[in-house]
Amino acid sequence: MSHRAYYSGVAVDCTRELFRITALEACGRRIVLGCSDGLIRVFEDRSQPNGKVDYKPTSVSEVFTKKMIDHLEVFPLQGVMLSLSDQTVRFHSFPSLETRGAFEKSRGACLSFVSNHSAEKKGDSELLFCIALKRRVQMFQWNARDFTFSPIKELSLNETPRKMAFAGAYTLCCAFKRDYKMLDTKTGKVTPIFPLGRKGPSLICRMESSNEVLLAKNQQGICVDHEGKPTRTEPLDWPEVPNALVFSRPYVLSTSTTNVDVRNVENRSPVQNIPLKNATMLASTYLGERMIVAASPVMVVQLTPVSPLDQVEELVAKSNFEAALQLIEEDLDSKWVQTRSEHRLKVKTQYAYHLYNNREFQSSLHLFQETKVDPRQVLALFPKIIPKGQCRKIEHPVEHIVPIEESGDVIIKATAALIPYLEHLRNRFLMDPRYKTSGRRRASRSLLLKGKGEGGGEGG
């Protein structure tokens, strides 16, 4: 694994309880559990800053069904929650959990329901909600005045959707019995994507910030756009068939029989494994930073993001500079965006020194050139090539520097890489009017001729 992206801690332990967890949702500092006894339980975060994860039960719903809760979704801005149990979709006040009623004609909603709700959305007007019924999809829109969802459309289909997720403003990605398809809710057009895998459940993960949908097929994850077209050349590969997915940029988290797997969706590399046996559920919430909760039938684990700076520093300490630079470019939080340039410069400079120590002089000098490091700091790395007395008493921002041997292939390689860098410096200085009347012009020319002479002498 490359580094730690999340801290983990047990939030709810139900191993001694008579019920089992069958549905999971997260909202702010609350974890909402649908249970096998037909009740909905809410736990609130009472953890102290930098302390142990500590959730306390705060409310339990009244008895409204004798069957287990199959699915939950909370809309905090509207103060409403939806539940699926006993093939019926009901709506409740939140966080009071008072049952306000059931959707008419929703009897038989035994497969799924979905909304276009996003933590990035601010208003109520575009909140849509869909219920999958036998060979049809019912659509509703939130009506804040009446505190309910108003029916707006019913779409007839040739088969019944088993899972759904919004892929665009009015496009549903659906998993049917044999394949994934896109459903245009305006026109009713159905577009096939690709067949389902033979292993594991059909999984649809909405990737909000990149306008993509991640579809699971056996042990692979394939990203598509709202038209069902692939958006990436290579799929994600998991060691086991996942049974739940959630996206928290730039990571995709999946659950399996032994752990929660964290992978970078951009480079597809494994990042972290978090132990949790028989985990089958994932949910996410925004708290300024995005928190993830994972659950098995008897336990809920909270996954709190490690700060971007700590992640980058760990990657740099492990000499994983490419991953660190990639992480820097992600919009992880507002403060990170403000300091991105500073961190990018620091990591690229450290990367340049790392390449120098590994004798990759051309790549190293290219990075030094890109970061506009003080030329004297760079030239001091080549004491056997530059004229004597140049660039003395230079301090470097790294602890260890591997010196260049006085003779052999290494010094030839170093000289060949240094010449283009010196030419770049000369051209850069020539564009500066102050340089033309200074002695640095003659010094730069002398240094360039010295470098070419060293390269030619060794090469002969």
Buried b (16+ CB within 10 A) or exposed e, 293-327: bbbbbbbbbbbbbbebeebbbbbbeeebbebbbbb
d(C-alpha 104, C-alpha 350), whole Å: 63
- In Å, the largest CA–CA distance within the chain is 90
Q: For residue range 191-230, what is the model confidence (pLDDT) as tens digits?
A: 999 999 888 889 999 987 778 999 999 999 999 999 999 9
Instruction: Look at residue 113 in the predicted model and tell me its pLDDT.
Output: 63
Q: SS in 3 state form for 168-205?
A: CCCEEEEECCCEEEEEECCCCCEEEEEECCCCCCCCEE
User: What's the pLDDT score for residue 289?
Assistant: 62
> For position 245, what pLDDT does the model report?
96
Question: What tokens were used for 406?
Answer: 């006085």
Report the pLDDT value the prediction gives residue 373, as an integer from 0 to 100.
86
Measured CA to CA, the distance from residue 380 to residue 225 in angstroms comes to: 50
Instruction: Label the pairing between strands 40-45 and 30-35.
Output: antiparallel
Residues 6+ apart with CB under 8 A from 256: 238, 239, 240, 241, 242, 243, 279
Tokens 């102290």: give the residue: 48
pLDDT of residue 70: 92
Q: What is the pLDDT of residue 132?
A: 87
In residues, how long is the chain? 460
pLDDT at 48: 76
**Cα–Cα distance for residue pair 221/177, rounded to 1 Å:** 18
- Enumerate residue ranges in the chain where pLDDT < 50: 119-125, 435-440, 443, 455-460
**pLDDT at position 124, please?**
44
Q: pTM of the prediction? A: 0.85
